[in-house]
Structure 1
Amino acid sequence: MDTAATTRNDPYASLRIREFNYYLVIRFAIVFALTMQFTIVEWKVYELARDPFSLGLIGLSEVIPAVLLAPFAGHLVDQREKRGMLLACVVAYIVLGTGLFLLTWDRMVQGIPTHWVLNMIYALVFMGGIVRAFTSPSNFTMLALLVPRQLYANASTWSSSAWQVGGMAGPALGGLFIHLLGVHWSMLLVVIIFLAPLFSLLQIKPKPILYKSQGEGFVAGLTKGMRFVWNTKVVLNAMALDMFAVLFGGATAMLPAFATDILHVGSLEFGFLRAAVAVGSLMTMFILAYRPLVTKPGIKLLAAVFGFGICIIVFGLSKSFYLSLIALLLSGMLDGISVITRQTILQLKTPDEMRGRVASVSSMFVGSSNELGAFESGFAARLMGLVPSVVFGGCVTLVVVATTYIISPAMRKLDLKA
């Protein structure tokens, strides 16, 4: 019997590796805490400013340092021990979370003008963007150091699932705890949650550094990840497709405004809406753990992103809480296909010594498009109105998918076999 083939076909194969399970806790807890924190910050900022554009500024504050520092961060991560880098990032998140906890304490900010409180919140979010520039490549590179190559696809599915569970629970519990405890004590809970990845990281042994400079200069090493992505068309196309879909089709940044002004619901319902996308993604990821995309994954990816755009249009036009919830749930199920496909492509196609730099390029393309999309949504909402801006974004997503299908034979012929 082919042991390697049996291992590949075992949906729980990567879960049998002890350190990988700690990695899943880290992956879950970081995104859980950050999305819960982001949800609380969104609610607080809109409560203070009552302007959809203020929600866009939250995303812009984080995306600027994350994008500008990404090439340097990936280059540095490739040359450093990964566990130590991620450990430093978690400690930084704890410090910044404590700062946000203090800024949401009414007694602490009493007498300070509202615009100064907002500016200080934006400043801490900006510093969080600096940390995120190093967190993303550190997280990505650790996975390949914990599991053998034949399990990359399986490990990527479980890693993405952990990320989506955190992305689901964070906003849902963020809305719930705002409802039950208020903004201030909810933010303290975020700081406590960050202790979980801190403990888990201490259970993982330091990993070898695989970077080989081969005499290349600083600038050449810095841009090597960009050149690799540009020359590997299937990687470039997958990143670009996901980036534009999230950039123009993302509606979650405007959820506080939709919940309050369009659907006329409170913080609890807002939390459910915020979590619906991640719930849908999680459902897809569990299905794909058992039935991975083998035949024509590129065509299925394009179809999924096209369906995602339609769901966003429906959400933008809906005035019913339940229809909006279903539209977001379905958009998450379709987005899950995109997430797993992209992660699998990156793990299989990226050389070990370049994982940090390629992950940084991915964060520039995809990870930062969430925050940049939040700014675009806020700007478009001010320019066109809340509902037209979301519908417009969904329509642009459909155009992007059609264009990718026409110009990208590499995507149409995509093969995910290791």
Structure 2
Amino acid sequence: MPNHGKLLLRQQKPFIAFWLARVCTASGFQMLTVAIGWHMYQLTGNVLDLGLVGLVEFLPRVLFMLHTGHVADRFDRRMVAALCQAGQALIALSLALGSSSGDISREMIFVLAFCLGTARAFEIPATQALLPSLVPAALFPAAVAASASAMQTATIAAPALGGFLYALGSIWVYAPTTLIYAVACALMLSLPARQTALNKQPATLKSLMAGIQYIRSRRDIFGAISLDLFAVLLGGATALLPVFAKDILLTGPWGLGLLRSAPAVGALLMSFWLARYPIQRQVGRTMFTAVGVFGVATIAFGLSTSFWFSLLVLVVLGAADMISMVIRGAFVQLHTPDEMRGRVSAVNGLFIGASNQLGEFESGLTAHWFGTVQAVVLGGVGTLLVTGVWIKLFPTLAQRDTLEKTAAEQAADDAQSRP
């Protein structure tokens, strides 16, 4: 079996620059998020403000969803991503200057959080749609896994680094973050310019809605995206980890930190494996099995009273989620025409963001109604039920053997694209 990971690194220099840019951007965002949250709490001492910061950061993804995808399809994606990274560098610089002068206020943080969310709302579809143009189709699944490893690496290391630097003073987080974003911008600009034809359609309602309509017209793509939405919505237990750490597993803040890191560790290890040995056959069955394992792991975590067993289960949960994410991400991108990838990625990104945000709300609500353990167990059972229902609703997705388009699908797309 060929080593796709080494082949990817050896043959695709642009991908290396892309991967490093993703590491920088993800690390910068994680460090900035930690610093902004702590800074806000120091200013106001109000936990509600912490929730509002997260909401303000997420709001632009909803407000600008249709426009972000259109921008990614109409303009050079590397330029769009680079401008967004430059914008995030300016946000970090503003916080650094404000920290040095002592002029940061609650309202200023809210405004900058909204600007940060806006920059990320335009950056994410552009970078997701950019990746397929950097590597051959045969290496694309490995590229998705390797790209995901950048996010997981940042998720594990960057928050701790941000917290350590903040202990030295807030400017010691904001200033390095500015530099990190600047490096990401330079790396993105080093990528080759877009070679495929740009979408020249004006920003009409029809063109803006094209991503949603395309997903609705492709049952397997709709099935893959909606499976993630409902599985994560029901199975996510992240919001309840502090309760498990303190009241059930009887550990302290250090234990909570390990519990939060465990899924990312599992995801990172699995992303390394998938980059080296990408899944090439029985992709539908593998994806649904991974979602099922995610549900079982959620149930096991909910029932566990052992800290170390809970930690192990969360590692398995993160690894299973990574398998599903890589297959789904590669499948959606490979089955979407290049001129549509930005708009489809924007819709997909909204689904993922909504599943995470609403999943935390769902977990808190069911925990309030039924109890913490019962809420997590019910969520895992719900994930298993969704998996079974989706297998029945989307049989061709469940039975899919490879990620590439079949001859019939290619012929249908060619016929649809003819004038």
Q: TM-score range by the shorter chain?
A: 0.7 to 0.9
1:80 matched residue in structure 2:
75
| Structure 2 letter corresponding to 1:373 | G
Q: CA deviation at 1:171?
A: 3.6
Residue 14 of structure 1 pairs with residue 13 of structure 2:
no
Q: CA deviation at 1:216?
A: 7.8
Residue 127 of structure 1 pairs with residue 115 of structure 2:
yes
2:330 matched residue in structure 1:
344
Q: CA deviation at 1:89?
A: 0.8
Quick one: distance in 2 between partners of 1:383 and 1:100? 40
Structure 2 alignment gaps of length 5 or more: 405-419
Quick one: distance in 1 between partners of 2:98 and 2:374? 34
Residue 395 of structure 1 pairs with residue 389 of structure 2:
no
Residue 211 of structure 1 pairs with residue 198 of structure 2:
yes
- % identity of equivalent residues: 35
Check conservation: 1:39, 1:171, Cα contact below 8 A: yes
Change (3 A) 1:190 1:248: farther
Q: CA deviation at 1:266?
A: 5.3
Change (3 A) 1:198 1:235: same
Quick one: distance in 2 between partners of 1:256 and 1:77? 38
Quick one: distance in 2 between partners of 1:45 and 1:308? 34
1:3 matched residue in structure 2:
none
2:350 matched residue in structure 1:
364
Q: Which of 30, 37, 44 is 1:35 aligned to?
A: 30
1:330 matched residue in structure 2:
316
What is the alpha-carbon root mean square deviation over aligned residues?
A: 3.4
Q: CA deviation at 1:275?
A: 2.3
Q: CA deviation at 1:80?
A: 0.8
Check conservation: 1:59, 1:372, Cα contact below 8 A: no
Check conservation: 2:4, 2:139, Cα contact below 8 A: no
Q: CA deviation at 1:401?
A: 1.4
Residue 237 of structure 1 pairs with residue 223 of structure 2:
yes
Q: CA deviation at 1:197?
A: 0.7
Q: Which moved more, 1:252-261 or 1:71-80?
A: 252-261
- Aligned partner of residue 12 in structure 1, secondary structure: helix
| Structure 1 letter corresponding to 2:6 | Y
1:198 matched residue in structure 2:
185
Q: Which of 61, 68, 72 is 1:66 aligned to?
A: 61
2:139 matched residue in structure 1:
151
Q: CA deviation at 1:177?
A: 5.2
Q: CA deviation at 1:183?
A: 6.6
Q: CA deviation at 1:93?
A: 1.6
2:270 matched residue in structure 1:
284
Q: CA deviation at 1:328?
A: 1.8
Q: Which moved more, 1:20-29 or 1:164-173?
A: 164-173
Quick one: distance in 2 between partners of 1:170 and 1:241? 30
Q: CA deviation at 1:75?
A: 0.8
Check conservation: 2:235, 2:382, Cα contact below 8 A: yes
| Structure 1 letter corresponding to 2:120 | R
TM-score of the aligned structures, taking structure 2 as reference length: 0.82
Q: CA deviation at 1:236?
A: 0.9
Change (3 A) 1:153 1:12: same
Quick one: distance in 1 between partners of 2:111 and 2:306? 36
Residue 294 of structure 1 pairs with residue 289 of structure 2:
no
Check conservation: 1:78, 1:357, Cα contact below 8 A: yes
| Structure 2 letter corresponding to 1:406 | K
Quick one: distance in 2 between partners of 1:99 and 1:265? 38
| Structure 2 letter corresponding to 1:149 | A
Q: CA deviation at 1:338?
A: 0.8
Change (3 A) 1:160 1:172: same
